[in-house]
Structure 1
Amino acid sequence: MKRYRFFTVMTVGALLISACGVGGDSGGSTDKTLTWASTGGQFQEDEKKALQEPFTTKTGTTFTNISPAEQAQVRTMVSSGKTIWDLANMSWIYAGAYCGELFEKLDDPALDRSKFPPGTTGDCFVPTYRYANIFSYNADMYPGAKPTRIQDFFDVKRFPGKRVVYDYPKAGLFEAALVADGVAPDKVYPLDLDRAFKKIDTIKGSLVFASSYGAIQQMLVDKQASMVLTVTARTIVSAQSGANLVPVWDFNTTDIGVLVIPKGAPHKQLAQEMLAFVTEPEQAAAYARLTGTAPARPEVDLDSIGYTDQQKKFNAFLPDRGTTVEQDKQWWIDNTDALVKRWTSWKVG
Structure 2
Amino acid sequence: MKRTTRLLVITIGSLLVAACGVGGGPAPGAESGQRTLTWASTGGQFQEDEKNALQIPFTQKTGVQFINVSPAEQAQVRAMVTSGKTIWDLANMSWIYAGAYCGELFEELDHPALDRSKFPPGTTSDCFVPTYRYANIFSYNADMYPGEKPSSIKDFFDVERFPGKRVVFDYPKNGLLEAALVADGVPPEQVYPLDVDRAFRKIDTIKGSLVFAPSYGAIQQMLVDKQASMVLTVTARTIVSAQSGANLVPVWDFTTTDIGALVIPKGTPNKDLAQEMLAFVTEPEQAIAYARLTGTAPSRPDVDLETVGYTEEQKRFNAFLPNRGVTLEQDKQWWIENTDALTARYTSWKVG
For the superposition of Structure 1 and Structure 2, which TM-score range results when normalised by the shorter chain?
over 0.9
Residues 308-327 of structure 1: matches in 2 within 5 Å?
A: 308-327=311-330
Equivalent position amino acid for 1:231 in 2: V
1:169 — aligned with what?
A: 172
Q: Which amino acid aligns with 1:200?
A: I
Q: Is residue 172–residue 342 contact of structure 2 (8 Å, CA) maintained in 1?
A: yes
Following superposition, the deviation at residue 31 of structure 1 comes to 4.3
Aligned-pair CA distance for 1:105: 0.2
Task: Identify the residue that residue 33 of structure 1 maps to in structure 2.
Answer: 36
**CA deviation map 1:201-238 (0-9, x unaligned):** 00000000001111101100111000000000000000
Separation in 2 of the partners of 1:282 and 1:206? 43
Paired with 2:174 and 2:131, the residues of 1 have a C-alpha distance of 19
Alignment partner of 1:248 out of 222, 247, 251: 251
Could you tell me how far apart the structure 2 residues matched to 1:215 and 1:275 are?
31
Aligned pair 1:139/2:142, yes or no? Answer: yes
Please tell me whether the aligned partners of residues 85 and 266 of structure 1 are also in contact (alpha carbons under 8 angstroms). no
Q: What is the SS of the residue equivalent to 2:8? A: helix
Structure 1 SS opposite 2:212: strand
1:104-253 counterparts in 2 under 5 A? 104-253=107-256
**Structure 1 pair 5–278 and aligned structure 2 pair: CA distance change class (3 A):** closer
Which deviations, in whole Å up to 9, do the C-alpha atoms of 1:53-74 show, x marking residues without a partner? 0000000000000011000000
CA offsets, 1:92-131, max 9 Å, x none? 0000000000000000010000000000000000000000
Verify: 1:49 aligned to 2:49, yes or no. Answer: no
1:68 partner amino acid: P
Structure 1 distance, partners of 2:208, 2:269, is: 49
Which ranges of structure 1 fall in alignment gaps of 5 or more residues? 23-28
The Cα shift of 1:5 comes to 4.8
Distance 1:8 1:269 in 2: 28
Aligned residues: 337
SS of the counterpart of 1:230?
Answer: strand
Counterpart Cα distance in 2 of 1:97 and 1:334: 8
Q: 1:333 & 1:6 partners in 2: Cα distance?
A: 11
Q: Secondary structure at the match of 1:64?
A: strand
Q: Which amino acid aligns with 1:348?
A: V
Q: TM-score, normalised by structure 2?
A: 0.93
Give runs of ≥4 in structure 1 deviating > 6 Å: none
Mapping of residues 61-76 of structure 1, within 5 Å: 61-76=64-79
Per-residue deviation, 1:2 = 4.2
Structure 2: state its 5+ residue gaps: 12-20
- Partner secondary structure for residue 157 of structure 1: coil
Q: State the secondary structure of the residue aligned to 1:341.
A: helix
Q: Which residue identity does 1:105 align to in structure 2?
A: E
Distance 1:18 1:169 in 2: 31
Aligned-residue offset at 1:3: 3.2
Question: Structure 1 residue 95 and structure 2 residue 98: aligned?
Answer: yes
CA contact (8 A) 2:7 2:339 kept: no
Is contact 1:83-1:265 (8 Å) kept? yes
Tell whether 2:20 aligns with 1:18. no
Q: Give me the TM-score of the superposition, normalised by structure 1.
A: 0.94
Shift of 1:32: 1.2
Structure 1 residue 286 and structure 2 residue 289: aligned?
Answer: yes
Q: Distance in 2 between matches of 1:337 and 1:31?
A: 41
